[in-house]
Structure 1
């Protein structure tokens, strides 16, 4: 009996039945191959530390890669055979891999990789697969939520722990406004004084620590911080800014601040934990405030709008600054950016029809621009406090604070 025709003579009464079965199995295999390719492309950046770990035991990279691909394939093959919480499903799939592919563990143990380390590596790969099955960054966004208030600038947002959000904006009297989400509810607006002439920027480099920056009445850079107990007064850091500032932090007690200068060049000033640097000229012709984000130690990505309203991108890799990269688009505001995890970037801006534009880097390539709905009247602000969680804020048509999220 033909293995593709278990019904035997049935195919004799249905012309083309065997061919239909072959086509069905081919399509099923192509779908499985496509799912594997999609997942492999998404999780490859997250596997780099695992290659490094196995490299310490002199495991060749091609061997590590083959093992990782087998684990991914088995996790996808048996994803519907497990249930429960994420941890429970990881454990169940680990048992399946260990039972059905014992050679994998034998090979790694032959390189003297400790059994505990092998288990950790395999479970890490399985977890990456489960967390990214069906994940499509451009889909499943919430609707816009109105958080009220009379804001006179674009917002800024920081997060110092999971499910914690601190949002800032300029108020009707040019003072700094502050509103926060504590994991259960939103606070009322807190008035923190000041005479701001730009949208604020905010960052957190440690638990219960927030640093806020803005442009002052003399176009100088202003700085205010929360130390876990109280807010400081405004600190004058000098300079002549022609845009709102941007700030990123790649380590504890490290701050990198950016702004546009009078010549439309990008300028950079940093706090190294002891003192502030002078302003550094990074060149470029930018037509908006910059945005900055960090996804790893000594890594900074900076975005701005260019002369043709395109999205520009420049990055620091720990040794040098790149040239400006043109990412296209037609922006009508400065951009916002968030980093969900290592080598993952989500960038937002206002589009020509006041809608929210979205573009993302998946670790391998940039997506096209996605047009999300909305009528926003300011640049957006974005933050990520979880692996696949993104929160976006902007000012609405009634000067209210708008919020939408994914994840």
Structure 2
């Protein structure tokens, strides 16, 4: 073969080899095992918000999410099914497990949820029982030693939101609210109960007005809570064994607010009347202004839930305007 003929055939040979390699790579990628239904890869969001992503086609019609984490690689999200029963999905090693019912006896219907983890391998979930009466008791179910406990009745007749925080092992602080008159939403009262190694304390009155809707402990001996009173978001802190006075933060409140934090930073999230999600941050010295969370308006995301560690925030909500979407998630 002449050098000129070889020069004409060489590009064709190289192209054929490239096509063969591409086909082999494509076949190998296609042969990888499929992810479990509802699972997705974790998308890091360095320096800003990632995109909203569904946590899977929830066959249970899920809503009212709550979230907990016992470490950087572990997230547990809870929600209520169409029948108002507790369901769960877990992210470990970067993939979501898919939704499944939470075992527990007796089988209960819930109205609202709160969840917290005080350390590796431990989760406590609380829910208000859905009864035929105006209010229902507070129930607790615990995940420990690799299994779920039975439900425990903590009593009361609650018809508002609940919240829970923990500043370390063997410490839980639960907040529950009640509407004193169904005809007047301003007649409300919030209560507080603590769990330690000595067991559960009695319920004590925390506020004669407003609904406590979020709680977080970022360091031992400190609790930050957010409440809504007469459509105004309020913040209050427990430190040095005493509660501060309430600080009004305004806000375009519709659903929420919820609170998270790490170190001296606090972040409050809520859904505004324009159906956008808003965030307000405390930097350890002062509060910033309310800022919209990017990418929310087209989904009308309600019932925010949030958990964080370090500079990372995991935000969840209910996409209540989109069929078969259910709970959605984004990372900061």
Which category of TM-score, normalised to the shorter sequence, fits these structures?
Answer: 0.7 to 0.9
Matched, 1:173 2:90: no
Matches within 5 A, 1:30-69: none
Indicate the structure whose relative CO is greater, using CA pairs within 8 Å and at least 6 residues apart: 2
Answer yes or no: is the 8 Å Cα contact 1:175–1:195 preserved in 2. Answer: yes
2:66 aligns with: 156
Gaps of 5+ in 1: 1-136
Structure 1 residues 1-400: aligned runs within 5 Å: 140-148=48-56, 149=58, 150-192=60-102, 194-218=107-131, 219-263=136-180, 264-286=188-210, 288=211, 290-307=213-230, 309-339=231-261, 341-372=262-293, 373-374=295-296, 375-385=299-309, 387-396=310-319, 397=321, 398=323, 400=326
Is contact 1:265–1:285 with CA below 8 Å preserved after alignment? yes
Structure-2 separation of matches of 1:322 and 1:261: 22
Deviations 1:234-268 (A, max 9, x none): 11000111213110001211000001123311110
Alignment match, 1:90: none
Report which of the two has the higher share of helix. Answer: 1
CA deviations 1:352-376 (Å, max 9, x no partner) are 1211110010111101000123133
Q: In structure 2, do the counterparts of structure 1 residues 334 and 289 end up closer, same or farther at CA, with 3 Å as the change threshold?
A: farther
Q: CA deviation at 1:334?
A: 2.1
Where does structure 2 lack aligned partners over 5 or more consecutive residues?
1-45, 181-187
Aligned with 1:337: secondary structure? Answer: strand
Report deviation, 1:216. Answer: 0.7
Q: Give the 3 Å change call, closer, same or farther, for CA 198–217 of structure 1 in structure 2.
A: closer
* 2: CA distance, partners of 1:379 / 1:285: 22
Cα deviation per residue 1:90-137 (whole Å; 9 max; x = unaligned)?
xxxxxxxxxxxxxxxxxxxxxxxxxxxxxxxxxxxxxxxxxxxxxxx9
The DSSP-based 3-state class of the residue aligned with 2:259 is strand
List per-residue Cα deviations over 1:309-333 (Å, max 9, x = no partner): 2211111013211111101112101
SS at match of 2:243: coil
Whether the aligned pair in 1 keeps the contact of 2:90 and 2:97 (CA below 8 Å) is yes
Cα separation, 1, equivalents of 2:48 and 2:78: 26
Q: State which structure, 1 or 2, has the greater radius of gyration over its C-alpha atoms.
A: 1
Q: TM-score, normalised by structure 2?
A: 0.76
2:28 corresponding residue in structure 1: none
The alpha-carbon distance between structure 1 residues 348 and 151, as it changes in their structure 2 partners (threshold 3 A), is farther
Q: Specify the alignment match of 1:404 in structure 2.
A: 330
Q: How many residues align?
A: 265
**Structure 1 SS opposite 2:199:** coil
Taking structure 1 as reference, are residues 240 and 318 closer, same or farther at Cα in structure 2, changes over 3 Å only? farther
Once residues 279 and 122 of structure 2 are traced to their aligned partners in structure 1, the CA distance between those partners, rounded to angstroms, is 29
